[in-house]
A and B are shown apart, each in its own frame.
Chain A
Amino acid sequence: MTTPVPRIVVPESVRKGEAFTVKTIISHPMETGLRKDEHGSVIPRKIINRFACTYGGVLVFSVDLHEAVSANPFFEFELVATESGRLQFVWEEDGGALYGLSHDLVVE
C-alpha cells in the first residue's frame, strides 16, 4: 500500500466569532476486511478508524470511522473562530499508524 497522503483546505484568516469551513481528505483504500484476493483468501481489514481535529490544543471535532466510509475519506465540517491558534488534524489507521497535518489560523 502506498503511504496515505492527507490534505486540508482551511482559510488563512477568519473573523472572530464566525464559523469557517474545513475540508479534509486522506488517500487511503479503506480495506474493509470483507474482500478476497485472487487466491480466495481474505484481504485483512485496514481502515482509517479515527479522525480528530484540535484547535489551540482543544478537541473540537472528531469522527469514528467504520468500514462503510468510502475510500479516500473526505470530511467537510465547520468550526467557530475563537482565537488565533494552531489547527491540528490527525488520522489514525488500524495498527496504530498516525498521519497528521497542521495549520496556523489567524483570527482577526
Chain B
Amino acid sequence: MELTRRELLRSVCAGTAALAGAALPPVSSIAGDDALAFVEKTFDRGATMSSRVQLTMPSVFPTGYTVPMDIAIDTAMTDNDRVRSVRVFAPGNPLLEVAGFNFVAGRSVPRVSTRIRLAKPQFVVAIAEMNDGALLANKVWVDVATDGCA
C-alpha cells in the first residue's frame, strides 16, 4: 500500500491523540490530586469538594505577580456551623502553601480578598476547616501569562 503524506499525517495525529487521551488523566483530576494529597498529609485526613467554599479568581490574568483572589465561605457563623480557617494552596508553585485565613464567629465575616503569586497556569485550591473538623475544598483554574515567582 502506498501511503500519501496526507494519510500518514492523519494517522500519526489520530494515534497521538488516542495516546494522549489514554495516558493523561483529565486536567481536573491532576489539579486536585497534588493539593488534596498534600492536604491529607498536612491535616492527616481527607477533604471533600464543596460549593460552600467560594473561591473567585480571574480565569486568565496577564501577570503571575498579583493575581486577585476572593474567598467566601457559605456559613452562618453560628456555634454549630462556622468556619475556623481557610488555607490556600497553589500546587504549581515552587512552594505549595499560599496563605491561611482565620475567622472568629460573631466577630468576622467569612470573606477575604487579597493578591497572590502564581508561577504558571494551574488550579488554585482552597480548603476550609469547619468547626466540626470537616475539611471542605474547592478549586479554580487560573491561566497566568508570566511567572510570578521568578
Contacts and interface: CB of A to CB of B under 8 A. Distances in A.
A55 B111 contact: no
A70 B66 contact: yes
Given A65-B99, A66-B99, A67-B95, A74 B114 contact: yes
Interface in B58-88: 65-67
A16 interface: no
A71 B98 contact: no
Interface in A31-45: 32, 34-35
A64 B65 contact: no
Contacts of A9: none
Nearest to A77: B112
Interface in A60-78: 60-71, 73-78
B104 interface: yes
Interface string B93-137: 111011111111011110111111110000000000000000000
Given A19-B109, A60-B104, 15 more contacts: A34-B149, A61-B104, A61-B107, A62-B102, A63-B100, A64-B99, A64-B100, A68-B90, A68-B117, A69-B116, A70-B116, A70-B117, A75-B112, A75-B113, A80-B106
Interface of A: 19, 32, 34-35, 55, 58-71, 73-80, 82
